[in-house]
Amino acid sequence: MSISSSMHIGASALTAFGADMQTVAHNVANVNTAGFNPQRAAFADVSGNRGTRLDTVFQGGGLAGQEGTRISYEELRQRARDMGADAGTPLESLFPSGTSLEREMANLVELPHTYEANAQVVRTADDMLGVILDMTA
């Protein structure tokens, strides 16, 4: 494995785990949103074992941003009326967010460690490249 491929592997993982951190932040920010379906990031190997990439972000059983994964406020209010709820009943009590703070906090503990480990891969490859350049100069 060359130094440049080590840097590429570390950099691709940094990008992927950075996107996962954004997904976790999105879920935590919407913890009190009525009927919210949390997102989940799925990763894939880059061909030839050359790193990791963000493959897909899932939300509510489908792809995030796909038609049918989001429910409008009006639709939630209509569902509440169909259930016989008062007009003043908070939607959050009828349709709680699907976000699990326990799961998101565990991710927030794990992600910085994976990010730091991959940053160290990039730093080590950079140091090795510096040594090689100093030797040839």
Neighbouring C-alpha atoms within 13 Å toward the C-beta of 134: 6
| Model pLDDT, residue 67 | 46
Q: How far apart are alpha carbons 32 and 85 in whole angstroms?
A: 19
> Domain range spanning residue 54?
3-136
Residues in Cβ contact with 81 at an 8 Å cutoff, skipping those fewer than 6 apart: 87
- What one-letter code names the amino acid at 118? N
| Model pLDDT, residue 127 | 92
Q: In this predicted model, which residue has the larger pLDDT, 80 or 130? A: 130
pLDDT at residue 114 tops 60: yes
Give residue-wise pLDDT tens across range 2-55. Answer: 777 788 888 888 888 888 899 899 889 988 887 788 888 887 777 666 667 777
Please count the structural domains in the chain: 1
Give residue-wise pLDDT tens across range 76-85. Answer: 778 778 888 7
